[in-house]
Amino acid sequence: MKLGIVGTGMIAHLVGPNLAGWGYEVVAVAGTPQTMGEVEELADAWGVRGRYSDYRELVADPEVEAVYVAVPNFLHYAVSEAALDAGKDVICEKPLASGEDEAARIAELAKKRGRFLWEAMVTTRQPNYVALRRDLLPRIGDVKVVTVNYSQYSSRYDAFREGRVLPAFDPAKAGGAIMDLGIYTLSFVLGLFGEPLEARYAANIERGIDTSGVAYLRYDGFVATAICAKDCGAPSGALIQGTDGYILMDTPPNVCGKVVLHLNDGTQEVHDASHSLVWEGEFREFARQRRAGDFEACYRQLDQSVLVSRVQNEIRRAAGVIFPTDERN
């Protein structure tokens, strides 16, 4: 698959060198006039011909078959829309959009155009997560309590405390803890249990943005908490407690590393089928679905992304974190 990458940030640097091994040929890179030095650097390193200072030029390139959207959150919708309108398939970094209305609109556009659109949500494509959902969860009886935590001190928080606002903590750029890390914890829970009956978000808010917080999700018969923090660090992982045992994962929910099943009768089983890189599963599956023309699987996952976006953004707004997209919709 011939891929164009829009964005020159850290994620492009991390993913780009591995794409050839996952079935992709990078044929174009786009940035902005201000980041053309980085575009040239990446293109030289990867042997890429197409070098653009505007994403609209990249999506118009006839050699590009699919577009990887790796730009700040607030630009996801515009770049994805342009790519879909140009007849390209899209794999977009999380979150799919800055709000649930945008997420719903871009999903409908993909279906209308008959194109593949993926949110690059690594959590639900990790082999250990799939095994947890399919094989382990049914063995712990009735679920009673679920806790998922992704707490990682952000180096950008230092700048934020000094008065400099980078996109990660900028409401105008759809930043904040729940949009960056909370999307993993919410996707983890909703991917297992679906839409909650009730959802709330208790956030620590500084200068209009959530730097950390706890989402409370109520289901029929149990409760879940989804913790996210960019202003402090702690061991991250997941614990699912049931009447017959529990499931423990001691890695962040984007990694979904080793999963251990503990049953009340003393049985303990370790499951670990991790990829060497967290992005491998999503890129391989996107390529597989595209080769197979498996729109059913793609759109099923897309509907799940729209659900997560709706829950995520409803509780964000209710907590008092407001984005420009909220006022436009």
Pinpoint the residues of the chain covered by CATH 3.30.360.10: 124-280+310-328
Task: Tell me how long the chain is.
Answer: 329
Spatial CA neighbour of 215 closest among 100, 311, 116, 125: 311
**Cis? peptide before 324, omega within 30° of 0:** no
The total of other beta-carbon atoms located within 10 Å of residue 1's CB is 18
pLDDT tens sequence across 158-181 = 999 999 999 999 999 999 999 999
| Fold annotation for 124-280+310-328 | Dihydrodipicolinate Reductase; domain 2 (3.30.360)
Looking at domain 2-117, which of 1.10.275.10, 1.20.120.1200, 3.40.50.300, 3.40.50.720 is its CATH number? 3.40.50.720
Pinpoint the residues of the chain covered by CATH 3.40.50.720: 2-117
Please state, for a pLDDT cut of 70, what percent of the chain lies above it. Answer: 99
Q: How confident is the model at residue 184 (pLDDT cuts 50, 70, 90)?
A: very high
Give this prediction's pTM: 0.96
Weakest-pLDDT range from 87-91, 214-218, 316-320, 324-328: 324-328
* pLDDT score for 177: 98
pLDDT tens sequence across 40-67 = 999 999 999 999 999 999 999 999 999 9
Q: How confident is the model at residue 140 (pLDDT cuts 50, 70, 90)?
A: very high
Please state, for a pLDDT cut of 90, what percent of the chain lies above it. Answer: 97
Q: Quick one: 294 exposed, middle or buried, by C-beta within 10 A (0-12, 13-18, 19+)?
A: middle
Rounded CA gap, 23 and 242, in Å?
40
Could you please report the per-residue DSSP string of 80-148? Answer: HHHHHHTT-EEEEESSSSSSHHHHHHHHHHHHHHT--EEEE--GGGSHHHHHIIIIIGGGG-SEEEEEE
Which token pair is 234?
């702690």
Q: Provide the 8-state DSSP code for 170.
A: -
Q: How confident is the model at residue 91 (pLDDT cuts 50, 70, 90)?
A: very high
Rounded CA gap, 150 and 257, in Å?
13
Mean pLDDT of the chain: 96
- In DSSP terms, 89 is beta-bridged to 66
Cross-sheet strand order for the sheet of 143-151 = 198-206, 209-219, 222-229, 143-151, 237-242, 245-249, 259-263, 268-271
Q: Provide the 8-state DSSP code for 49.
A: -
Q: Has residue 269 got a pLDDT over 90?
A: yes
The total of other beta-carbon atoms located within 10 Å of residue 227's CB is 19
Q: Provide the 8-state DSSP code for 179.
A: H
pLDDT tens sequence across 202-241 = 999 999 999 999 999 999 999 999 999 999 999 999 999 9
Q: How confident is the model at residue 276 (pLDDT cuts 50, 70, 90)?
A: confident
Q: Has residue 329 got a pLDDT over 70?
A: no
Rounded CA gap, 14 and 40, in Å?
16
